[in-house]
A = this chain, B = another copy of it.
């Protein structure tokens, strides 16, 4: 069975040494999370994920979910595990204290979610989607709705879903047909079919709150006629008890490539009673609240599968004896050397390791800035936080999941033929990781969001703030010889990213296809530059610690620096290729007529 150990040392490094969470102790939420409490939370989360969720990951994959007479049964053990999660109060971690939450920063939330998803991605989607529903309701619901529904989402007694996709409409929500007819008492009757609804029906919770996009009768066509509705599986009485079953049912479960432990449902709405969330015809805006949060959550799924696959591949590479080192036997007393002696095995492992640590830093850094955008007492900090959150969300979603998948593939490759066999669990990481590139907006949509919306917002304020962050770091550390191997590649990457950004600004206005053509290379260029910044910052923090240490944890910081150097030397050079692609513009793609493909 695959292993997983929560990378607690990494989290501590990020929270205490790189980002120095103690500096925010005066802010709401942070005040309730002193280092020793955070440490205790991390330890408990590690136990939950390693001991409860991990053992169910392969079971979930093999058994999948079952639909019988409209009832969906989750795999063996999922129900008990979900109860453990609820009993531990985990769904409340970052929820508002007004509804029973602990109100802790989301920077801790993403750390918890990474652990859950590393141990069992399919399971993690149940509470993950609930949190998305929580966010949409808490930001767009009426006070009455919040009071009625949020506490149950916060305890985890109820779960939530997002209902966007229909058979003929995925990315293009303007095409959706599910309709809402006003009943007259403020409620609506919702009818239509939704597909690909994760956690859409299951046996883990007493009730499920479906957040459903639909078109009110007579509403304008296109995205401007879409509204968001809350449709509970069971209607909720005034006293909070459960009433009648609503007119929503699971028509079938999708047979998928992976995440078999999660129930991906076709949901049929047949005059189901629903209530408007937010304003009429402005459902898309409300849904984007959920989507943006979900996108960060999907980005971390990419990281999570990369991390889980990595830990197993390292273990295998250390144990499996096969062949001899190119420079002579390293384990002469054994029949062969362990795989880890081979540079090409190390290349794959370091591609993954250097990504994982860099991506985790960027994830927590971004989530922290998301927290500061709400919680800081300084306006500039709030603005910077909002800018980073908005700018980096598509990068984290797209780059993390593209790389996370490829990393799972590389980790599988370390196993040779054994990686292809189900028993070892490596191919499950690949199959599970694959969906993260697709859902919550396929990665091409993320790239377009980045290039088409996020770059231009507020006159480019966010991207220039990002450049300035790099420039400030470079200026502060340019004289430092020890940091040169980090600062120089960072500056080169930044230069390529800036050149690409300017190229879009100069060319995309006259032909929007130029933006589309370079969008995916740009998203990757951005991701690499973001990780390069994190690695430069981590190297600095590690060098500072090393200067004060004698033995002890020294090895940790030395490894950190070596891993970062690998990233700078082996990964960062790709920025030049991305820039070259972007600069060729749209002609290479658009010169072919549709029938020439």
Contacts and interface: CB of A to CB of B under 8 A. Distances in A.
A175 B443 CA distance: 45
B442 A349 contact: no
A19 interface: no
A547 interface: no
A343 B517 contact: yes
A291 to B, nearest CB: 14
A527 to B, nearest CB: 15
Contact of A346 (B171, B421, B581, B589): B589
A336 B341 CA distance: 55
Given A342-B444, A346-B590, A588-B566, A417 B434 contact: no
A416 B173 CA distance: 14
A569 B594 contact: no
Interface string A13-54: 000000000000000000000000000000000000000000
A311 to B, nearest CB: 10
Interface stretch (A119-127, A154-162, A423-431): A423-431
A573 B518 CA distance: 14
Interface stretch (A2-10, A86-94, A321-329, A464-472): A321-329
Contact of A347 (B326, B422, B520, B562): B520
A255 B422 contact: yes
A576 interface: yes
Given A255-B423, A327-B511, A516-B342, A589 B350 contact: yes
How many chain copies? 2
Contacts of A511: 327
A314 interface: yes
Nearest to A576: B576
Contacts of A574: 574, 577
Given A171-B416, A322-B169, A346-B589, A594 B340 contact: yes
Contacts of A555: 596
A431 B412 CA distance: 12
A581 B573 contact: yes
B562 A444 contact: no
Given A169-B322, A574-B577, A597 B317 contact: yes
Interface in A331-355: 335-336, 338, 340-350, 353
A517 B325 CA distance: 12
B588 A448 contact: no
A440 to B, nearest CB: 10
Contact of A597 (B327, B340, B442, B520): B340
Nearest to A254: B421
B438 A347 contact: no
Nearest to A335: B175
A546 interface: no
Contact of A448 (B175, B344, B350, B589): B344
A215 interface: no
A174 B570 CA distance: 33
Nearest to A586: B343
B591 A562 contact: yes
A344 B580 contact: no
B519 A344 contact: yes
Given A431-B257, A588-B566, A420 B438 contact: yes
Nearest to A314: B597
A584 interface: yes
Contacts of A520: 344, 347
A223 to B, nearest CB: 11
A447 interface: yes
Given A318-B594, A437-B413, A597-B349, A584 B569 contact: yes
A183 interface: no
Contacts of A353: 597
A77 interface: no
Given A323-B171, A423-B255, A580 B588 contact: no
Interface string A389-423: 00000000000000001000100110011111111
B318 A597 contact: yes
A517 B347 contact: yes
A512 interface: yes
A170 B577 contact: no
Contacts of A597: 314, 317-318, 340, 346, 349, 353
A475 interface: no
A435 interface: yes
Given A255-B422, A566-B588, 16 more contacts: A170-B418, A255-B423, A318-B594, A318-B597, A327-B512, A343-B590, A344-B447, A348-B444, A405-B409, A413-B438, A558-B596, A563-B592, A569-B581, A573-B580, A573-B581, A576-B577
- Please give me the 8 A-B residue pairs with the lowest Cβ-Cβ distance, nearest first: A343-B516, A326-B512, A573-B580, A346-B589, A257-B427, A343-B517, A344-B444, A255-B422
10 contacts: A165-B417, A175-B321, A257-B422, A326-B515, A342-B516, A343-B590, A346-B589, A350-B588, A412-B434, A430-B434
